[in-house]
Amino acid sequence: MEELSKILEKFDPITLKEMDSVKLMNRSDTKFIFRADQLPFFLEQLTDDFYMLDINGIRQNKYETLYYDTADFKFFNDHQRGKTNRNKVRHRIYVESALHFFEIKNKNNKGRTIKERIKLKQVDFNISGKSEDFLFEKTHLKGDQLMPVLWGNYTRITLVNKNLPERLTIDTNLFFKQGDIEKSIPEIVIAELKQNKSSKSFFAQLMHQYHIKQASISKYCYGVIFLYKNIRMNNFKPNLITLNKICYGKI
C-alpha cells in the first residue's frame, strides 16, 4: 500500500539496540482491533510522538510464531475463563533480524504481563534440552506435556513513545496455519499498547475518540478458534461478533 509506505517514512527511526531501554518485559498490555483501511489515518496522528523501529531500512517486520499447548488446550481455556496466572508458550522467529526465541508469557493476578525468553538457533518442535529446562523452571511443565498447535504469522510495525516508557505494536496481515488448514484475516489490525504502568496514552485517547474498544482476546486464541473444530468458545463469542462486524460491517 503506497499510502501506508509514505506515512511510515515520516516517523523518526529507532534501532533494536536503541529500543533496549523500553523492552517492557514486565508491563501492562491493552489491545485494540480496527479495520486495516483505518491504519493510515491513525498512524498519521502519531508521527510527532513516536519513533518507529527500522531494521536495515525495513519498517514492516515479519514475525512467525509457533504456539504450544496441552492436548486439552489448557492455555486456550485458561485465557477464555479469564484465569489469572495463566501462561502462553511459543517459539518466535523475528524474520528480518534472523533471531529465534523460545518465549513464555505469564499474565499474573495483578493484570501484568511478564515475558521471559531464551535465544535458540532454530525452531524446537519438540521442547527439549534448555527449552525444556526453561519451561519447567517457569511453569513446572515438561516438554512432552505440550505440543505444537499452530503457526501465527503477521507483519508488525513497532512504535516507541518519545516521551513515555511506552511501546505500540501494530500487527497486520494475520495468517494462521496448522497442517493443511489455513486462515488469513487481512481486513483487521491488532494494536497492542505496552506500558510500564497504566497511564494516559495519546494512542488510547485516539482509540476512544473513534470508538475503538479494548479487546481481550489474543492472536493465539483467534488461531485456535479458526483452525480447530469442536472447540468450546462461548466466552469468546462477543469478540467474534465484534471481529465479524469489523471485517464485514455486519453481525
Q: Are 106 and 25 in contact (CB under 8 A)?
A: no
Model confidence at 3, in pLDDT bands (50, 70, 90)?
confident
* Phi, psi at 157, each rounded to 5°: -105, 130
pTM: 0.90
Q: Which residues contact 221 (CB under 8 A, 6 or more apart)?
A: 76, 79, 80, 236
Indicate whether 125 pLDDT > 50: yes
Task: Identify the pLDDT of residue 24.
Answer: 54
Model confidence at 249, in pLDDT bands (50, 70, 90)?
low
Q: Are 135 and 126 in contact (CB under 8 A)?
A: no
CA distance 26 to 229: 34
Cell triple for 2: 503506497
State the first-to-last Cα distance of the chain, in angstroms, to the nearest integer.
28
Cell triple for 157: 510495525
Q: Which residues contact 198 (CB under 8 A, 6 or more apart)?
A: 28, 30
pLDDT in tens, 82-108: 888 899 999 999 998 889 999 999 988
The neighbouring-strand residues paired with 64 are 93, 153
Average pLDDT over residues 68-86: 93
pLDDT in tens, 12-50: 999 988 887 666 555 578 899 999 999 999 999 999 999
CA distance 220 to 178: 12
Task: Identify the pLDDT of residue 1.
Answer: 54
Helix (H, G, I), strand (E, B) or coil at 146: coil
Distances, alpha carbon 56 to alpha carbons 15, 42, 93, 149, 175, in Å? 9, 25, 17, 32, 24
Nearest to 112 by CA among 177, 227, 207, 195: 195
Indicate whether 180 pLDDT > 70: yes
Say which DSSP state 55 is in. B
Per cent of the chain over pLDDT 90 is 67
Domain spanning 2-248, CATH architecture: Beta Barrel (2.40)
Delimit the domains of the chain by residue range. 2-248
